[in-house]
Structure formats: structure tokens, C-alpha cells
Structure 1
């Protein structure tokens, strides 16, 4: 059982690890100043591809549920991320966004009835501290709108995680993921046209390779893994895995772009990894004592435990 859970956690962790490569791909392969266009090309074709593969459309309430989940997990989240990225230094945006696991834990307690433990709170605080050590710079300047957008992105992502757990789709995972990617991508189209204008008329081979990677690997594959993990694991445990993205982005900047990696940043990465591990540890569940006269087949009611 523990081996199965560990394997599921590791596979789910591949998603935010791959998302951590987005910065490198964007700076090295994509046209500059087009982050929302990249989000649209990343999500919309991937969603349509998954729908074409499964040949399954939403039914009943899943038409509006897919729209809401697609907005929270993809569309609105990407738009807020775009605003925060443009108005804040990357270190501040990442540090503010790192509160997302704490927000997820709180929403899980309110909406799902999950238990909010002291270990989760401390792990969340450690995660924010670790990300700040990893990416925050002393000369970074605050911007009120950017900070609100970054906080809004964290809240929106947390709400998407919790609602994705609450609304368990009866459809195959590929289809459910395709619905959300398509809905989120469609919501981003008008925002992209209003803020960035028409797409470029010419794309280089590097641009095509970058967009293809983000679409097939960075969306179609990773979101399936992400939602699959969310279906089987506690939402708070999954939310902590998102902290892997700034760790991977920093390591790739050091390895591939020759950026400096200070001892303080290395300490931050270790703190983040420690918070991830702490969030995945579940306290063993003990069966309550049998009531007098209860037969051997009497089963205890399942208790929902959140890391």
C-alpha cells in the first residue's frame, strides 16, 4: 500500500517538475512578450487533442462543472499568473504563490471536511520560506496589483484543486482533463487578443518546437498526471507538489543558462523538499475499539485524514 502511494506521489510530482521547465522553454524558444499566447497554444490544442482521442463530451452538470474547473485550474489562473509576472519580479511572484498549499489546506478543511493538522501548517510555512530563499532578491520591489494577482492566483489554484477533488468525474481521466484544458484555453483567447493583439504571422522552427513541447508534454501529459494524482491522493498533499516548479526552474537556470546558485538558494531548495516530504507523510490510522457485543465483521467508519 505504501509503495503504491509512493509511486503515485512520484508520478504526480512529474507534472510540476515539468512545469518548472516552462521558464527555460519560454526564454529560449518562444517569441518574447507573448505569455498568454503561449498559454493558449499550450492548453487549447492539448484539450482538443484529448477530446478527439476519447471522443467523449461532457454530459449533464459536467458542462458547467468543466467550465468552472477549466477557469480555475487553467484560464483564470493563467491570466492572474500573467499579471503577477508582468508587475512583480519573479522572486516575489513565486514567493507569494507559494502560499497556495496553505490555502488549499484551509479550503479542504472547510469544503471537504479534511483535518487541518499542525504538521501541514508548519510544512506550508516552511515551503513559503524555502521558496523565498530560493528565488527572492533583496532589491525586489513590491507592486500592489501584482501582489493581489499573485495571491489571487494562489487562491484560484487552491479552489480548483479542492473542487476537482469534490467533483469526481465519472468520465475517463483523459476526457475530464481535455474538457478542462479546452474550457480554460477558450476563456484565455479573448483575454489574449485584448492584451497581446493578434498572433505573429511567422514562427521559427524554435518557436514551433517550444510550443509543441508545452502543448504535448507541458499540458496534455502533465495535466493528466496531475488530475490523476488529485483523484487518488489528498488535495493538500498534491498541492505541496506544486512547490517543485520553482526548484526545477532554478536548477535549470543554473545548469542550462549558467545562472548563479548561492548556498542560500541551495538551502531554500532543501527546505522546500523537506516541506514536500513532511506534507506526504500520513499518520497511521488506528481502528477504534470494538463496542461490546460487536461481531468480528463490524467495520469502522473510514476516517478522512489529510497530510
Structure 2
């Protein structure tokens, strides 16, 4: 039981830290370079980890690693930014929060895990909690934006399930290095062709990139893929609701953003959904 709680806590650190991505990106990085930022978040961290592990994929793992890199990073981040540009942040976050629900059904279909009612209820509660946290009354629905948000959610869900299904005979650190590098490489041509060169970077910009690469990239995905090897995918996915929760708390603490009663209720619902999700694992 103690080992399971440790696995849950360490895995939960990943989405909690991902919640800081918004504030770091908006406050510390150059504006309007989403694909370049995504590429620089993944590729340098992946190459650094590869330098330490000194092990490359072999055989079928080359194909699998690039598929996982696309699902977990390249395509997921691309769709995330398309949704962010075409939808209000609250709408994009709410649509994207269907990812844990998708994981529940994908895990049942691909891994043969039991489809538990508690996991479905936890995912639905999490979606409702996120909606209360971030959704504004004047949110506008853009069809392309909604489809991009759904595609991103499905991409991350598929990457989560396949990362558990395709467990390579290597340490989580090596698996993380492979995926980050592959995802970053796939983003290089996208960033090169779609965005201009970065301006001269300030010290604040450098610190932002270092944080996103080492903490928001290498460390968090190491914890995430380690958790996927030990926890049911639906349990790990339910922890993803901690990301918008952390983002809202950081906005309140650092940017003086106000919290209303509905948002406080949303926080409580998100925490209950995460608790219900981990109860699936303990049972």
C-alpha cells in the first residue's frame, strides 16, 4: 500500500507541474512562438537524457518510439495550440479534459482492463470540475477549435495507453529520453516552416526555457512514464485534472486573479474526482 501511494504521489507531481506551463509561457517566454516553444521544450531535454543513458532504440522500437513521440508530444501539442488560438482558454481546457474519459475506454479496448463504473464517474466529475474552474459564460465555440481540442485529447489518451501497452525492456529514464527526442525531432520542421526565428533571448527567456525543458519536460515525463508502468492508465489519467487546478491556483497566487464560489466548488469536485480515480487502483 505504501509503495502504491508513493507511485500515485510521484505520478501526480507531473500534471501538477504541467499546470505551471501557462504562467511560465506567458510571463517568461517570447509571445507567438508555440511550435518553437514546444520543440525547444522536448528536443534539448530528450537529447540531454540520451547523453546520460547512452542507449538508442532498436528494431521495432524505432517505429514505436516515433509513434509515441507524436501522440504524447508533437501532434498533441500542435492540436493544443490550435485549440488555444481558436477557443477561449476555458473552452479549450474543458474540451481537452475529456482525455481521462477516453483513456478509460481505450484501456478497456486495448489493454483489456476492466471497465469500472467508478473510473467513468471520476472522469465525468473531473470534466465538470474543470468546467467550473475555467469556463466563462461568454465562451464561444469554434468548430475547428473544438475538433482540435478533441483530437489533442485523443492523441494524449492514445499515447497514455500505448505507453503502458508498449513497455520496452529499458528503464523509465531511457523510455523518456526516446520519446522526448522523437517528439522534438518531429516538431523541428513544423516550427521551422510555420514560425519566424526567435528574437534575441533575455535572461528571463532562458530561465523559462530551462524550466520547461528540465522540469516541465524531462522530470515530469520521467515521473509520468514511470507511473504509467506501475498504475492503471485510467488512474494515471485521472491525475491529469490536477493540471488546470494548479494553473488556477498559480494564477490566483502570482497574478492576483480572483477566485469565485463556482471555481472553489470546481476545485473541490476535481479533488474528489482524483480521489475516486485512485480508489480504482487501490481496489
TM-score norm. by structure 2 comes to 0.98
- Counterpart-to-counterpart distance in 2, 1:271 and 1:15: 20
Unpaired runs of 5+ residues, structure 2, are none
* Superposed displacement of residue 26, structure 1: 0.8
RMSD: 1.0
Alignment of 1:1-307 (within 5 A): 2-200=1-199, 202-282=200-280
- Counterpart-to-counterpart distance in 1, 2:180 and 2:280: 31
Deviations 1:220-244 (A, max 9, x none): 1110000000000000000111111
The SS at the match of 2:168 is: coil
Unpaired runs of 5+ residues, structure 1, are 286-307
Which fold has the larger relative contact order, with Cα–Cα distance below 8 Å and residues 6 or more apart in sequence? Answer: 2
- Counterpart-to-counterpart distance in 2, 1:36 and 1:255: 28
* Superposed displacement of residue 34, structure 1: 1.3
List structure 1 runs of 4+ shifted beyond 4 angstroms: none
* Superposed displacement of residue 194, structure 1: 2.3
- Counterpart-to-counterpart distance in 1, 2:282 and 2:79: 38
Deviations 1:154-196 (A, max 9, x none): 1000100110110011012111111100110111111112222
CA change 1:284–1:259 in 2 (3 A) is closer
Given that 2:104 and 2:234 are in contact with CA atoms closer than 8 Å, whether structure 1 keeps it comes out as yes
- Counterpart-to-counterpart distance in 1, 2:176 and 2:127: 29
CA change 1:247–1:283 in 2 (3 A) is closer
- Counterpart-to-counterpart distance in 2, 1:12 and 1:167: 19
Deviations 1:101-139 (A, max 9, x none): 110000011111011111111111111100000000001
* Superposed displacement of residue 251, structure 1: 0.4
* Superposed displacement of residue 283, structure 1: 7.3
- Counterpart-to-counterpart distance in 1, 2:240 and 2:84: 17
* Superposed displacement of residue 284, structure 1: 6.8
- Counterpart-to-counterpart distance in 2, 1:64 and 1:262: 47
TM-score norm. by structure 1 comes to 0.90
- Counterpart-to-counterpart distance in 2, 1:100 and 1:188: 22
The structure having more radius of gyration, on CA atoms, is 1
CA change 1:19–1:141 in 2 (3 A) is same
Q: Hey, which of these two has a bigger chunk of helix by percent?
A: 2
Q: 1:288: which partner in 2?
A: none
- Counterpart-to-counterpart distance in 2, 1:243 and 1:104: 13
Given that 2:232 and 2:281 are in contact with CA atoms closer than 8 Å, whether structure 1 keeps it comes out as no
- Counterpart-to-counterpart distance in 1, 2:60 and 2:197: 34
- Counterpart-to-counterpart distance in 2, 1:41 and 1:85: 19
- Counterpart-to-counterpart distance in 1, 2:190 and 2:141: 25
